[in-house]
Structure 1
């Protein structure tokens, strides 16, 4: 099977290439951003694209939006999304349709190499492979009224500290984590509250306003 990998982490990208090559699969391109993914699919016509949901430059939803574009332009290419969390806003769009060849796995729950390779092959063969947590969150989506319900416990904790006026460094000190970990949680908060980057709005303030307005 001919595979394109789109993953911004150099180490993870190299690991996936080696893992799949050892399993006998043909990785024809491995790229680090969404634009390169589109170019690679157009140039190589792969059977499957393995795509990280969050990619440069904003690390919000570039990967999944590129996957949707691939799905629209080349419906015969299978899509296997890898993510740290369930991107509900776009997962439903990807699941729409009856041509299969779709997978959505959470990185933290992929613990067995054999299971991962099997999922890759099943998607390439035309099946749909979804992490049980993805299924659970999508089923619960229709019952949610408050966007804050999308946040993890840690993200809610970070947002509460943001509402107290603390900087990322102060939040990191309070939670005893790195500044990078806080930045990652903040990006997750913005994505889950549908706060896309703009030239006019301050996403940090808008997120805090949603928190303060919650019942």
Structure 2
């Protein structure tokens, strides 16, 4: 794959490799020894577009280069072939310079470097942040307070979900029901998360619940797709 799109793929692959090699807790495995790896990181560009606007000002020529890139990446358990994490990220950036238009990689290089760090972060379960919104509201309910504290760490999310579900059964508040469904999703219990979030949306009709429903449905549909070869160089990891 050549051109600007190919350059972006190469930059992402290179930066992810560097992030892995700099982490003392991760080992980058050669493809020929893939059976010794724990996980595979793969992905690819799902959408790519650029545009150029030119203008003349004070007898000087300026070019604005716009770049849009959609990148989907996933973490696959090598032994079970299960996709344990998947996400799609978007980069939409523009850069104005005097003279000729900059190369796409120059426009999005900082975004790619940041994305590389985020991709490698998915291999560190203890450091992954909760990206879905969790309500941490003031309450006198001790179980709710405990659940809020537990939800901040990935290893405690299952217990947090159980507590939120318990409080919701007792009190029926929107926050507890929503939190329970979100944590089911983060714990990858997608079918149950869909069932609970549908019930929450039908009862409370909030934009957050509608958005979460769409996200869960998209994940369920994606999980049903077979693992395919990707345009990014696959990387095998051992802990």
TM-score, normalised to structure 2's length? Answer: 0.26
Greater relative contact order (Cα < 8 A, sep 6+): 2
TM-score, normalised to structure 1's length? Answer: 0.28
Structure holding more strand per residue: 2
Structure holding more helix per residue: 1
Larger Rg: 2
